[in-house]
Chain A
Amino acid sequence: MTGTIPIVAVVDDDQSVRESLPDLLREFGIAARVYASAADFLASDDVGTTSCVLLDVAMPGMTGPEMLRELRRRGEDVPVVFITGHEDESARPRLVEEGAVDCLFKPFSEAALLAALTAALEVADLRCSGGCPRVPFRLVE
């Protein structure tokens, strides 16, 4: 594996998610950064260097969909994968319509996470195809 390691941002108010996801992502060969709220992520200097955001839907303060809209308003097209504790398949099309790559329902399997990340990082890759170099990156499956 060569090239730039993708950096995934985990934005979730739930501590056990913030603790567990980064380790698994590192096992995938992905670097992870965690944020306890949408405001924390938006206020950080990391938005531009993030390859993908794993974003909780229901959070105190700004919610996931609100943060996604804010990112798009700012012209940030970083791919977003929603994660939510509400098992509600009917919400998926709505959330995808908002511009998310996918929506994962907690608890999600490793396979589902990998699939969503792969799709998201492909999007990230594609959006760079115009100017920036393609990332020769393969997920560790």
Chain B
Amino acid sequence: MTALLLIALAFQLLALFAMVARSSLLFQLLGLELAMAGAALAFVAAGAFGPAGLEAGQAMVLVVLAIATAEAGLGFALYLAVTRRGKDDDTDKLDRLND
């Protein structure tokens, strides 16, 4: 279990790296998806080897995916709203939504 949890942790760090290193909105959204996938792996590993049971781990994956879907939907809408205004998707330069 420890190895799998360490890999899940590495996924979180990779996602944080993507947020810090890349300023493109789509790359940051991809990083967030990997963070969610890492969380899902951690829940399955903890369910498979821990006392909570694999059914609890799998149920948590369902909840994690609901959160990932909500985040992705809002993120894509934000990206489309930005590109529709003809702006670059550089998050260092974006500070307003209404112009």
A binds B: no
- Residues on B facing A (Cβ under 8 Å): none
- Residues on A facing B (Cβ under 8 Å): none
